[in-house]
Amino acid sequence: MLTATEGKIAVQLARNTIKTYFLTGTMMDGSETELPKVFDEKRGVFVTLTENGMLRGCIGHPYPESTLKYAITDSAISAAFRDPRFPPLHIDELDKVEVEVTVLTPPERIKATPKDLPSKIEVGRHGLIVKKGYRQGLLLPQVAPENDMDEIEFLGHTCLKAGLEPDAWLTGAEVYSFEGQIFSETEPNGEVIEKNFKKKE
């Protein structure tokens, strides 16, 4: 788990990476500044950009195959400039977008029969990956509570993200879950807080 201070540094790193790219055309890799040791650990991460409450870009590294600092910088550039759903971010938008960084636990396949899958998912705690053949879709843990989805709707939308039928989780698709620690700006360039959608124990 990252501390609140480390989470704030993660979000600042993502924002600074985008800003540096605008100003210099070069991509940071996290080695430019001294960072806490956790940034050298291999972690999965996603960077999400929102503008006026609407998604503006979201791309990441689902698996812990890169250092946290590289995963953040690479995901920040991808979310800003390489998300095929949106035009590249314009420099005038930089002060209008809120930056969010989600640090992931390694995905684990849910061991259950298809009909029992929903009971193994906790909305607000789990993100999902659905795989079938060469298709794969991922939705972060915050997606379900932010869109008032229940477990079955969450499974269906993850299947759709993979380009599959919404009931593919019932017909042989592999389903993986992971958890995420979410650090987000409260406003563009504003205070960074940790979001928590998990149910109180």
CATH of the domain at 20: 3.30.700.20
Domain for residue 99, yes or no? yes
Domain for residue 122, yes or no? yes
82 in the same domain as 39:
yes
Tell me the β-bridge partners of 94: none
Domain for residue 91, yes or no? yes
Domain for residue 21, yes or no? yes
Domain for residue 154, yes or no? yes
Q: How many domains does one find in the chain?
A: 2
Nearest-5° Cα angle at 11, 90 to 182: 115
115 in the same domain as 97:
no
33 in the same domain as 21:
yes
Nearest-5° Cα angle at 42, 41 to 45: 115
pTM of the model: 0.93
Q: What pLDDT, on a 0 to 100 scale, did the predictor assign at position 87?
A: 97
Q: What pLDDT, on a 0 to 100 scale, did the predictor assign at position 200?
A: 47
85 in the same domain as 144:
no
Is the CB of residue 69 less than 8 Å from the CB of residue 39?
yes
Domain for residue 194, yes or no? no
Instruction: Using alpha carbons, list the distances in angstroms from residue 150 to 144, 146, 171, 184, 190.
Output: 7, 11, 19, 23, 31
98 in the same domain as 152:
no
Confidence grade of residue 30 (pLDDT, cut at 50, 70, 90): confident
Q: How far apart are CA 64 and CA 68, in angstroms?
A: 8
39 in the same domain as 118:
no
Domain for residue 76, yes or no? yes
Domain for residue 27, yes or no? yes
pLDDT digits (tens, 9 = 90+) for 61-120: 999 999 999 999 999 999 999 999 999 999 999 999 999 999 999 999 999 999 999 999
Q: What pLDDT, on a 0 to 100 scale, did the predictor assign at position 201?
A: 44
128 in the same domain as 44:
no
Q: What is the CA radius of gyration of the chain?
A: 17
Query: Could you write out the DSSP letters of every residue in 115-161?
Result: GGGGGG--TTTEEEEEEETTEEEEE-TTHHHHTT--HHHHHHHHHHH
Q: Where are the beta strands (DSSP E) in the chain?
A: 44-51, 54-61, 97-104, 108-109, 126-132, 135-139, 174-185, 192-195
Is the CB of residue 164 less than 8 Å from the CB of residue 173?
yes
Range of 156's domain? 108-178
